[in-house]
Structure 1
Amino acid sequence: MTRKFFVKICPIIAFVFILALSFNMPTTNASASTLPQNLKIDSVDGQTYNAQKHKKIVAFIIYRNAVQGKHILGFSTFEKYNAYKQQNLATQNADAKAAAYSYFYEHTSFDNRGLGASIRLQVGYNFYYVGDNWNDRISSTNIHPSSSITIYQHWHYEGYHYTFVNNGGNYWFRNFTDYKMPNGHSWNDQISSVKSGW
Structure 2
Amino acid sequence: MPWPDHLHEVHRYLALLRYIGVEVGDDRLEFPISAVDRHEADSLAARRGLQPEKTVFIHPGARLASRRWPIERFARVARRLAEDGWQIAVTGSQGEADMAHTLRARSGHALHDLCGATTLGALASLLQRGKLLICNDTGVSHLAASVRLPSVVIASGSDVARWAPLDAARHTVLHKPMACRPCAYNACPIGHPCALGVGVERVLNEARRHLQGDARQ
Task: Give the TM bin, normalised by the shorter chain.
Answer: under 0.3
What is the TM-score normalised by the length of structure 1? 0.25
Higher strand share: 1
What is the TM-score normalised by the length of structure 2? 0.24
Higher helix share: 2
Higher radius of gyration, 1 or 2: 1
